[in-house]
Amino acid sequence: MTFDLFDSLPPEPDDDPTETLAPGAVLLRRFARDDDQALLAAVGDVTASAPWRHLITPGGLRMSVAMTNCGSYGWVSDRAGYRYDPIDPDSGLPWPSLPAPFLSLAARAAAAGGYDGFVPDACLINRYLPGTRLSLHQDRDEQDMRAPIVSVSLGLPATFLFGGLRRADRPARVRLAHGDVVVWGGPSRLVFHGIAPLADGDHPLLGHERINLTFRKAR
């Protein structure tokens, strides 16, 4: 199945902050911008307890994107495979709790995207530096596929690759700026998606970094 998506970078945001990417998938321009200070402070609190790390894929490759987690479950990867785990393997302790600003934003964004009542139990926090990327993949390690994915962009702009239900489907290239939120679920829940290599730049709050918060219902 291939969605009929635009194929090039969209124009700069206009007065309409909501863009439909595919059935069940929307882009909420600037939705998190007013919350950015609280969100970044919460990221600092999480990483103080669960520092950034570069996971190893089951095939033995080191991921270029640094990450950590918070919530009841964290997404981990090693030679044994991809999975959710309630324990941080680096510390042997439970992951930090989901901060209140995270929970509030995730619920509001999901509702704005048409998914009322979303209560995530996991947040993957990724840190991108110039040149890092995330290859096309599906989010399929969650048990409840009825819940959406809520993805928040902070810092440097990125090119979001949003494809179809087959890896071979040509993805749309969607420009994501600071504060943009993508919500997808329903018929788009298992689309292949990723991030193109991050271009260099200098963001007023994050300098040469991009932070991505991905909220999920793991269990």
Q: What is the domain partition of the chain in residue ranges?
A: 18-216
Q: Average pLDDT in the 57-80 region?
A: 96
Please give the C-alpha separations between residue 67 and each of 5, 157, 186, 191, 214, in angstroms, as whole numbers: 29, 18, 26, 22, 11
pLDDT in tens, 19-59: 999 999 999 999 999 999 999 999 999 999 999 999 999 99
**Amino acid residing at 9:** L
Residue matched to tokens 């999480």: 46
Please give the CATH number for the structural domain made up of 18-216: 2.60.120.590
pTM: 0.91
pLDDT in tens, 93-110: 999 999 999 999 999 999
- Detail the residues annotated as belonging to a binding site for Fe cation: 137, 139, 193
- Detail the residues annotated as belonging to a binding site: 75, 82-84, 126-128, 137, 139, 141, 167, 193, 210-216
Contacts 24+ apart (CB under 8 A), 55-62: 58/82
pLDDT at 7: 36
- CA 206 to chain centroid: 17
- 2 pLDDT above the threshold of 90: no
- Detail the residues annotated as belonging to a binding site for 2-oxoglutarate: 126-128, 210-216
Which of 137, 151, 142, 157 is closest to 204 using CA atoms? 157
pLDDT at 14: 52
- Detail the residues annotated as belonging to a binding site for substrate: 75, 82-84, 141, 167
| Residues with Cβ within 8 Å of residue 48, at least 6 apart in sequence | none
pLDDT at 178: 98
Confidence of residue 16 (pLDDT cuts 50, 70, 90): confident
Q: Average pLDDT in the 125-148 region?
A: 96
3-class SS shares of the chain: helix, strand, coil, % to 5? 15, 35, 50
pLDDT at 144: 86
